[in-house]
Amino acid sequence: MGFNRRGFLKAALGSGVVLAGVGAWLRPQDQGEPYSEYFSQLNRELKANGPMRPVMLVDLDRVDHNIDVVKASVRRSGKQLRLVEKSLPSPGLLDYIGQRAETGRLMSFHQPFLNHDAVQFPKADILLGKPLPVRSAELFYQLHKGPFDPSRQLQWLLDTPERLEQYRALAQGLGTRLRVNIELDVGLHRGGVADEAALEAMLKVIRAHPAQLEFAGFMGYDPFVGMGVPELLATPHTLLARVMAIYNARVDFLRVRYPDLWHPNLTLNTAGSPSYRLHEQENLSTEVSVGTAMLKPSHYDLPSLSEHVPAAFIATPVLKRTGAVNIPALDDKSRIFSWWDVNQRATFFIYGGNWMADFESPPGLKSNNLYGRSSNQEMVNGSEAVGLGLEDQVFLRPTQTESVLLQFGDLLAVRAGRIVEHWPVYN
Ligand SMILES: Cc1ncc(COP(=O)(O)O)c(C=O)c1O
């Protein structure tokens, strides 16, 4: 059989067309767009009145909306609301939310913040959100000043009979009485009381030492109920039913076996941002804890929080524009990237970077892992369509609030696109 030149040429041409077709199909589309009107206004405001360094913005119009969603939920369920201080780590922000939400209840997780809260919010009712080493509790009492009365207004969260005994000894040494809230494992498996024997051991100690210990309630935290576990495993409804079966059993045990420690004013705390809406369906717990949902960072884009809106953004200025992406050592060969990908035809170096955050506006920006991340001046790429000039702001959405909010100095609170407050964060 002779070589079929025409056939070969046809086949080669055909596969070339197919390859080009597949290539065009694989080639990244232009994802760049200019700012929306919302971010365009924030950009103008920051250029006129901002510090031109990375800042954390909190949009009070959006926070108001989120507060009102939470308020309506707790009103429907007849529960109280407790604000999670570590997730909103600025006294000014906490005060603002507490006033609009009409709650003086806080959940604290850190002794230095707790001492601060006791001074800043002398009327607050504070529940610890994790069991602290007894030395931390001792330090709290050593440093505590002012009218906040821990023997009435503070509940220590405790998880084991051993730690309870350490706190009892602390109370004895201080000549005071400590209010004790018991951490329940309602399915999170992050410690806490997991069975009746452990609960009994703790209740026994409390009953035996009324001069030093007062039983104040239970805390059962269940974020997994709203975190979007694959529905094949369990629906949120089923998960909530399991959580509440455990919670109910612990409360029943108390009522039947320790009726002297039971009273209707006990704090039966539950939930967190991912699960608080689901607790509208039960009436055992007396209160829900909510923090992060007030600001809705990106990891909280959950079905249970669909009524909430993002309310915190990082803003940082563009310091340099350097054109098409250009990687050290590759130099001119870097052109292949911008030739292939229209979203690498513009390069911006921003002030700071490498935060736990996603690019928000203008749309279509990406960090460059090949070039490397930087906390000082991070490379950001996009297409020319993003329309960013020097000293325009890049906006990012934090993935979580608690540690990210502490990284920028004062929070800048904005309303209707204008800076209206500077709120210091905890330190
Ligand atoms: C005990 C406890 N309750 C509630 C929360 C919920 O906090 P957030 O509403 O900020 O998710 C947390 C968060 O870690 C927690 O540890």
CATH code for position 354: 2.40.37
Residue 381 Cβ inside 6 Å of ligand 1? The answer reads: no
Residues 205, 323, single domain; the answer is no
Residue 24, domain member (yes or no): no
Residues 259, 371, single domain; the answer is no
pLDDT of the residue at 25: 79
One-letter amino acid for residue 368 of the chain: N
pLDDT of the residue at 233: 87
Residues 221, 260, single domain; the answer is yes
Residue, of 11 and 160, whose pLDDT is higher? 160
Residues 221, 82, single domain; the answer is yes
The domain that holds 290 is classified in CATH as 3.20.20.10
Q: Whose CA is nearest to atom 4 of ligand 1?
A: 272
Q: Whose CA is nearest to atom 15 of ligand 1?
A: 129
Residue 1, domain member (yes or no): no
**In terms of DSSP bridges, do strands 312-321 and 346-351 run parallel, antiparallel, or are they unpaired?**
antiparallel
Residue 129 Cβ inside 6 Å of ligand 1? The answer reads: yes
- What is the C-alpha separation between 127 and 157, in angstroms, rounded? 7
Reply yes or no on whether the pLDDT at 231 is more than 90. Answer: no
Q: CB 403: neighbour CB atoms within 10 A?
A: 12
Task: Supply the mean pLDDT for the chain.
Answer: 95
Residues 99, 248, single domain; the answer is yes
The ligand 1 atom at the shortest distance from the C-alpha of residue 129 is 1
Q: Whose CA is nearest to atom 1 of ligand 1?
A: 129
Question: Which SS3 state, helix, strand or coil, does residue 225 take?
Answer: helix
Q: Which of 199, 201, 197, 206 is nearest to 220 (CA)?
A: 199
Q: Whose CA is nearest to atom 6 of ligand 1?
A: 272
Residue 358, domain member (yes or no): yes
Residue, of 20 and 89, whose pLDDT is higher? 89
Residue 8, domain member (yes or no): no
For 33-51, write each residue's pLDDT tens digit.
Answer: 999 999 999 999 999 999 9
Residue 222, domain member (yes or no): yes
Reply yes or no on whether the pLDDT at 417 is more than 90. Answer: yes
Which of 294, 326, 348 is at the close of a domain?
294
For 271-298, write each residue's pLDDT tens digit.
Answer: 999 999 999 999 999 999 999 999 999 9
**Is residue 219 within 8 Å of 184, Cβ to Cβ?**
yes
Partner residues linked to 412 by β-bridges: 57, 422
Residues 361, 245, single domain; the answer is no
Q: Which of 28, 44, 12, 10 is nearest to 381 (CA)?
A: 28
Which of 251, 269, 294 is at the close of a domain?
294
Residues 40, 105, single domain; the answer is no
pLDDT of the residue at 139: 98
Residues 93, 176, single domain; the answer is yes
Q: Whose CA is nearest to atom 5 of ligand 1?
A: 272
0.85 cut: is pTM over it? yes
Per the structure, the complete domain to which residue 362 belongs is given by 31-55+310-423
* Confidence tier at 16 by pLDDT (50, 70, 90): low
Residue 299, domain member (yes or no): no
For 80-137, write each residue's pLDDT tens digit.
Answer: 999 999 999 999 999 999 999 999 999 999 999 999 999 999 999 999 999 999 999 9
**Is residue 258 within 8 Å of 217, Cβ to Cβ?**
no
pLDDT of the residue at 7: 55
Q: Which of 370, 345, 343, 353 is nearest to 404 (CA)?
A: 353
Consecutive H or E run containing 199: helix 196-208
CA of 85 to the centre of ligand 1 (A): 9
- What is the C-alpha separation between 416 and 254, in angstroms, rounded? 51
Average pLDDT of the segment spanning 18-24: 63
Residues 342, 405, single domain; the answer is yes
Residue 192 Cβ inside 6 Å of ligand 1? The answer reads: no
CA of 357 to the centre of ligand 1 (A): 20
Residue 290 Cβ inside 6 Å of ligand 1? The answer reads: yes
Residues 64, 51, single domain; the answer is no
pLDDT of the residue at 3: 43
Q: Which of 240, 255, 362, 311 is nearest to 87 (CA)?
A: 311
Angle, CA of 258, 263 and 266, to the nearest 5°: 105
The ligand 1 atom at the shortest distance from the C-alpha of residue 402 is 10
Which of 294, 328, 344 is at the close of a domain?
294
Residue 289, domain member (yes or no): yes
Residues 148, 82, single domain; the answer is yes
Residue 21, domain member (yes or no): no
Residues 65, 49, single domain; the answer is no
The ligand 1 atom at the shortest distance from the C-alpha of residue 86 is 10
Domain count across the chain: 2
